[in-house]
Structure 1
Amino acid sequence: MNSPFEQWYDIAGVRSGIRRMFADETDAGKVFYPQRLVPYLAHEALADLPESERRALTIRHLYQFLMSTTHLETRVVNTTAELIANNRAGLDLPNTKRMDAFKVYCDEGYHALYSLDLADQIASATGVAIPQWNYGGIVDWLEETGRRLLPDEPALVPLLQTVVFETLITAVLVEIPNDPSVITAVRDLTRDHAKDEGHHHRFFAQFFHELWANLDHRLREPVAHTLPALVQACLTWDVEPVRASLLMSGVDGATAATVVADVYAETGSNADVCRATVRTFRSAGVLDVPGAEEAFAAHQLL
Structure 2
Amino acid sequence: MTYTMAELKVFESWYEKAGVRSTPRRLTPQDQDILKSFFPKHIVPHLNHPLLEAQEAPLKRYVEAQHLYQWLNFTAEFEVSVVLRATQKIADNKSGLELSRRIRMDAFKICVDENYHALYSMDAVDQVEQRSGIKSLDYEFAPFLARLDGVADGHPQHRELVQLLQVVVFETLITALLNDVPKDKGVITLVRDIVRDHAIDEGRHHAYFAAFFKHLWGQLSSSERVLVARLLPDIIVQSLQPATRAARTALSQAGLSDQAVNTIIEDSYHRDAVMAGIVYASERTVALFQECGVLDVPGAREAFAKAGFPQALDA
Shorter chain as denominator, the TM-score bin is over 0.9
Asked whether 1:273 is paired with 2:278, we answer: no
CA drift of 1:276 comes to 1.6
Gaps of 5+ in 2: 1-6
CA drift of 1:2 comes to 2.3
CA drift of 1:200 comes to 0.6
Residue 67 of structure 1, aligned match among 73, 80, 89: 73
Q: Percent identity?
A: 40
Partner in structure 1 of residue 63 of structure 2:
57
Partner in structure 1 of residue 3 of structure 2:
none
Partner in structure 1 of residue 107 of structure 2:
101
CA contact (8 A) 1:40 1:263 kept: yes
Partner in structure 2 of residue 205 of structure 1:
210
Distance 1:280 1:45, change over 3 A: same
Partner in structure 2 of residue 182 of structure 1:
187
Asked whether 1:117 is paired with 2:123, we answer: yes
Asked whether 1:157 is paired with 2:165, we answer: no
Indicate the SS of the match to 1:106.
helix
Indicate the SS of the match to 1:152.
helix
User: Which string of whole-angstrom CA distances, capped at 9 and with x for unpartnered residues, describes residues 212-250 of structure 1?
Assistant: 111121121121111111111111112111111011111
Aligned mates of 1:170, 1:102 — CA distance in 2: 23
Residue 249 of structure 1, aligned match among 250, 254, 259: 254
Q: Structure 2 matches for 1:3-18, cutoff 5 A?
A: 3-18=9-24
Gaps of 5+ in 1: none
CA contact (8 A) 2:174 2:284 kept: no
CA drift of 1:171 comes to 4.5
User: Which string of whole-angstrom CA distances, capped at 9 and with x for unpartnered residues, describes residues 178-218 of structure 1?
Assistant: 22322222111101001001101111111111111111211
Q: Which moved more, 1:236-245 or 1:276-285?
A: 276-285
Indicate the SS of the match to 1:97.
helix
Size of the alignment, in residue pairs?
A: 299
Report the TM-score, using the length of structure 1 for normalisation.
0.93
Asked whether 1:34 is paired with 2:52, we answer: no
User: Which string of whole-angstrom CA distances, capped at 9 and with x for unpartnered residues, describes residues 118-159 of structure 1?
Assistant: 1110001111111112035432221112324x3431221111
Partner in structure 2 of residue 222 of structure 1:
227
Partner in structure 1 of residue 98 of structure 2:
92
